[in-house]
Amino acid sequence: MSIWEGAVMGLKHKGTQTMKTNRLVLRRFTPDDADAMFHNWASEPDVAKTVTWNTHESVETSKEVISMWLNEYQKEDTYQWCIEYSGEAIGGISGLEVNEELRSVAIGYCIGTKWWGLGIATEALRVVIDYLFDIGFNRIWGVHNIGNSASGRVMEKCGFQFEGIIRQGAVNFDGYIHDVKQYAIVASDREQNSMPHLHHN
């Protein structure tokens, strides 16, 4: 298939649907997740260092963020999953910066420090990659702070290739502009990577 044929195909948005892996449930956030969101990851300084937003000062902040996402779920091109592990909300993973013309989407994820090192982010990212490629995305990319090498390892395990350092390419919640490492996986890479089977509800 040529690049021109691929461009004609376009994207078939399906929004944020529930998916399951051996250990995880990826689903839409609900108002009931605010308490877990605040206590399990959004209030943790070590998590905030790896993302672009500041720590939540109270459960009320988490409620406001989730309320915003609930409104966004009305759009078919919204991809914002809650990561549930052992029946508990422990983080989130999302598809952002959708570019219809390039059929590209950026990926972002975070989980509470209690669950770091368990392969959870990798497991969640693999099924999200599969889902987004099935929709018709051709390129999925992500960046991380230079010092957050663990995030780079997650992407590499999922078949992303390191593309280079984007100098002064991101800004933290405090306004500090910094360098990031960029990774991406494209549809033609898919056959080279083992993707787990998706279970849609």
pLDDT in tens, 91-116: 999 999 999 999 999 999 999 999 99
Answer whether 127's CB lies under 8 Å from 158's CB.
Answer: no
- The sign of the dihedral angle between the CA atoms of 40, 42, 46, 51 is positive
pLDDT in tens, 115-139: 999 999 999 999 999 999 999 999 9
pLDDT in tens, 149-159: 889 999 999 99
- The sign of the dihedral angle between the CA atoms of 58, 179, 77, 154 is negative
- Whether residue 196 has pLDDT greater than 50: no
What is the rounded distance in angstroms from the CA atom of residue 83 to the CA atom of residue 76? 20
Question: Which two three-digit tokens encode residue 115?
Answer: 């669950």
Topology classification of domain 3-200: Aminopeptidase (3.40.630)
- pTM, rounded to two decimals: 0.87
Question: Which two three-digit tokens encode residue 15?
Answer: 């929004």
Residues whose CB falls within 8 Å of the CB of residue 43, separated by 6 or more in sequence, listed in order: 55, 56, 57
